[in-house]
Structure 1
Amino acid sequence: MGTAPSTPKRLIHVFIASPGDLAEERRAFKETIDELNKGFGRGANVEFVPLGWEDALALVGRRSQSVINQDVDTCDAFILVMWRRWGQEAPDAAPYSSYTEEEFYRALRLFENAGRPEIFVFFKHIDPGQMADPGPQLTKILEFRKKLESTRQVLYRGFKTIEEFRNEIDTHLVAFATGRVPTPGGMTRVPLLPDSVALEVEKHKGDAQRAVNEIEKLKAEMQRLMEEAERARAEAKSALARAEAAENVTEAKAARRSVELAEQAARAALEGNVEEARQDFAKALDGTTNLRVLGLGAEFFARIGEHDEAERLARRRLAICGPDAETADTAEAYSALADIICGRPGDLSQAEEMYRKALGIAELLKDPERMSIEYTNLGILFELRGELEQSEEMHRKAMVLDEALGDKYALARDYSNLGTIYRKRKEFDNSEGVLKKALELDEGLGLESYVATDYLSLGALEVNRGELDKAEELLRKSLEVSLRGNLKQFSGRAYEALGVVALRQSQPDKARELMRQAEAIYRQLSMSKDRDRCASLIARLDRPQTQ
């Protein structure tokens, strides 16, 4: 009896383009391809074929761009990796200024005309300090990043380490081989922001607007300082006094420039232009001692996931305020630094100590707003540690102050926080009561992102109760608010939660479709953990059909 012929392997040609400062990454790319072929490739009957300038060199004995371009023309997936260098000058490749740029745009033209190759772009992390004074090569990289973001034509991501780069290559090539990469035919193509730049734009529009408002106040303050410095210089009598006055004018001008750049960055963040905001903030923060600019910069970098830079700025701000000073600025600096520390996994004792220092200063200054903020911060910290009794105590202390202040926004957050605690303690009726109060306040204030969150929380509560029909109704309301406000992150949350409900209702096809919608949104926003969680569930739902 003869043996049935085996199915030929599907070949996927993958071209990598990069300047000369990424030799280690190119080696890692080849090694990752080899590992994929030994593991995933065998199971899926797929073989990835790596292409790049090294292969052209082996064929012709010299670097021939024409041979390389043939590889670009025939590849199925095109990977561009960039860091600080733009690439080798290309006098014979006008209008392109480097061979790497020529390769990218050649692949892009092919994709636009023929729908292939699929293009992935990866940027190695650049410290904000380097962006403040980038030089000609890095300037071109930064401008290219902004262009990708503004045109929204190509998916791109970021990485810091070789291991992260390997994981990105592995994830994207597996997604490509299994047909799970978003395409223009299925959705609007937008840039996948780097994990380190995973700004949840919709969630933080309020924060970005607050930053813009804060900077308007700063601009007025800087103008006043400029006018005072100019008057002092005009009135200076002696040579020494004139020199001191001139120095004050120079400092005031530098401070005003810093504020202008921060304003530019805040407005870019408000519009969702994360890369532009990141670069503008890097320039605004270079050498500044302005506490507000430092604070806004630290908040921005924390929100986009660059916690090292956020913590550095927050500690710089605290040092300028004076860590032993008993002032409102020092209290705020301690609190902001603790927020950043809480955003990282690990021991929260240092954050608790800082929140308590901020609270102590607020009590000394008899500042009820700051006291409420710190009670809320401590309540959230205790909840993270599972210390629910202490958490409730802190939130109730905050509520007493917020009621006295008549702060409806803060009260809504108090009710929402208590709702989470009660749900975790399975006190479902209490949880429902306070969550409905939060929803009523948020609807009255017109805060759509919080309204969407309130409905999500109420839906999760009904899931815990086992009331799946009620849960679906509430989650649909969250989805409706999110879609109406173009709040993509919350749309993703609602789709995912509805998928879980459908799964519990024994409707796998419905669950799969909802999860795919959630995964697509998470992929757009580069919310990698959420994306992977949905992908894992979808794979489990698909498995019985493929066996």
Structure 2
Amino acid sequence: MTRELSGRSIFLASPGGLEVERQSVRDTVVAFNENYALNDDVVFIVKGWEPLARGVGNPQSLINPEIVECDFMILLLGDYWGSAPSTDGPYSSGTEEEFHKALALLASDDAAMRDLLVVFKVLEPDRMRDPGPQLTRVLSFRNQLESTKQLFYGTFDSQASLKELVERSLRKWKIPLKPREPVQIDLSNGSPIVDVASNLSTSELVENATQKAAAGLVTQAELTFSLAVKDREPQALNEFANFMRRTGRLESALELNRELLSSPAILTSVEAQDIAYRVNSLANIGLIERKKGNLNASVKYLTEAVKTADLSQTPVPEELAYSLDNLGFTWSQLGDLEQSRSAFERSKAVRISLAQGTESAQSLVNMGRLSIRSHDFEQAASDFDAAIALLDPDRDSLLLANALSGKGKALFESRALDEAVTVLTRALEVNLALGNSDGASIAHGLIARAHLEKGDVAEAATHAAATAAESEASGNLTGAATGLWVLAQVDHANGEAKSAIDRFGQAIDLAQRANNNGLLLAIKASRARL
């Protein structure tokens, strides 16, 4: 039977030195065509500079017309910026020229270009410490994108994470095409990278990097952390691992935590601080496994973290409570509310022994989340209110954001939609100020669902798209699934049945990969209702 296919071309831009990654992108597109796109009469075609660079004349003059014909661009960057395409042009590399060509096409009224994905390869700290002019230019470009906040970029630290980034864009690019609208992207107000004082101690560098991360200066924080871990001191490795986890570089975070756990000095020490590092690393591995959807592995590592803390001759209560918190979350996601409650109750007892308001607030947040799982939304809201009352907005902003998001969800589930949006908007503001992509994704997703319930489809679509974008930044499969789920319902409300069916399927696939059965059932139920 004859079929008409919608051919959509992608220009794959990058300087030299990324041959393996370029092939990985091509392989991902081929597999996506076979497994998903062709089922919807769509085929993606990857174009690149390889055959054109061998042509007669200036290679860039041959490449640019190819970009004009493309619908999308994927730009890969590692530690090399490239050489200037000409001696008298405005661009310092062919890749830079290709990027600006894509921006001009996106802004044009009648061009084919619809979207642009920029991805950066995560580099070893040793390479970051001595960047040289080529890598410095790459990092300056990344910082420019970050500071202007007009174009999201992704980072990858494995072939698997590169594949995931490309697949996410392909899923977005596969849906039925809507009338094209020009997009203006202005990067002229990008901030420069601020040099770090070379005479700072390791602890000062860690503090400096942590402050930059909290301010959302991710590129500068990573550069500072690369200086801090030069001597492989446990404090620096631990904080760098936390940073990499929070920013979605999960394989890098795992590697750093495993380095800490394999250190003979840390393994054999009976000092409280070294035991605390062991417990924290095990707990973080468990958290990462949960984030990747590996719930049984998450339970394994978190249980080991708790046992390690219990066996310590010197108490490490903060790390024990942290491990119990995360063990409770994982049991909750597995649907075992009894095990979850047991972990949370024990964590609460440990926190009471610390006699700190913030610690008590964390336990209230834990119990509030458990009450939501038990459908006791009134009790959940009460728990979250009690937690919020204990917190200092300036000192406890991350926990405050979690408590606000929890209360917003309890209100949403109680169908107090206007109040939910008000509380969740405050949670979103706090998370954005912290640069917390996971938290921002959760808040955007709940706001989107509330607007959808209220019948405000346009607002729901805006927040659902933001959910997907923030989830990409942190590698959060649950957040990505939530965003697609809401967008599917938006498509249905707008009469776009084919796109809605496609997005429901993508959301179900991601929820399954996240092992989030509650979300999976909710998506399937809403699809059935529609």
Same fold (TM over 0.5): yes
The residue number in structure 2 matching 1:268 is 212
Between the aligned partners of 1:302 and 1:372, the Cα distance in structure 2 is 19
1:149-169 alpha-carbon deviations (Å, 9 max, x no partner): 234443322334556545544
The residue number in structure 1 matching 2:432 is 487
The one-letter code matched in structure 2 to 1:147 is Q
Scaled by the length of structure 1, the TM-score of the pair is 0.70
Uncovered stretches (5+) of structure 1, i.e. residues with no partner: 1-5, 191-218, 220-252
Pair 449,473 (structure 1): closer, same or farther in 2 beyond 3 Å: farther
Q: Is 1:326–2:267 an aligned residue pair?
A: no
> After superposition, where does 1:231-380 map in structure 2 within 5 Å?
256-289=200-233, 291-317=234-260, 319=263, 322-343=266-287, 344=289, 345=294, 346-347=296-297, 348-361=299-312, 364-365=313-314, 370-371=316-317, 373-375=319-321, 377-380=323-326
8 Å CA contact retained: 1:456, 1:475? no
Compute the displacement of 1:19 (Å): 2.1
The residue number in structure 2 matching 1:441 is 390
Q: Secondary structure at the match of 1:122?
A: strand
The residue number in structure 2 matching 1:128 is 125
Between the aligned partners of 1:350 and 1:8, the Cα distance in structure 2 is 50
The residue number in structure 2 matching 1:201 is none
The residue number in structure 1 matching 2:516 is none
The one-letter code matched in structure 1 to 2:236 is V
8 Å CA contact retained: 2:15, 2:77? yes
The one-letter code matched in structure 2 to 1:292 is Q
The residue number in structure 2 matching 1:194 is none
Compute the displacement of 1:333 (Å): 1.0
1:415-468 alpha-carbon deviations (Å, 9 max, x no partner): 22123334434555654543332233237887455445334434544565xx42
Pairwise CA RMSD: 4.3
8 Å CA contact retained: 1:376, 1:395? no
8 Å CA contact retained: 2:302, 2:323? no
The one-letter code matched in structure 2 to 1:17 is A
Which of 44, 67, 74 pairs up with 1:72? 67
Q: Is 1:158–2:109 an aligned residue pair?
A: no
* Larger CA Rg, structure 1 vs 2: 1
Compute the displacement of 1:276 (Å): 1.9
8 Å CA contact retained: 1:455, 1:477? no
Compute the displacement of 1:481 (Å): 1.7
Pair 90,335 (structure 1): closer, same or farther in 2 beyond 3 Å: same
Between the aligned partners of 2:36 and 2:350, the Cα distance in structure 1 is 58
Pair 313,57 (structure 1): closer, same or farther in 2 beyond 3 Å: closer
The one-letter code matched in structure 1 to 2:496 is T
The one-letter code matched in structure 1 to 2:280 is A
Percent of aligned pairs sharing the same letter: 24
Compute the displacement of 1:42 (Å): 6.3
Q: Is 1:418–2:364 an aligned residue pair?
A: no
8 Å CA contact retained: 1:83, 1:126? yes
Between the aligned partners of 1:97 and 1:501, the Cα distance in structure 2 is 47
Uncovered stretches (5+) of structure 2, i.e. residues with no partner: 189-196, 498-530
Q: Is 1:148–2:148 an aligned residue pair?
A: no
8 Å CA contact retained: 2:117, 2:153? yes
Between the aligned partners of 1:115 and 1:153, the Cα distance in structure 2 is 22
The residue number in structure 2 matching 1:205 is none
Which of 390, 403, 423 pairs up with 1:478? 423
Pair 181,161 (structure 1): closer, same or farther in 2 beyond 3 Å: farther
Which of 520, 523, 530 pairs up with 2:469? 523
The residue number in structure 2 matching 1:225 is none
Q: Secondary structure at the match of 2:155?
A: strand
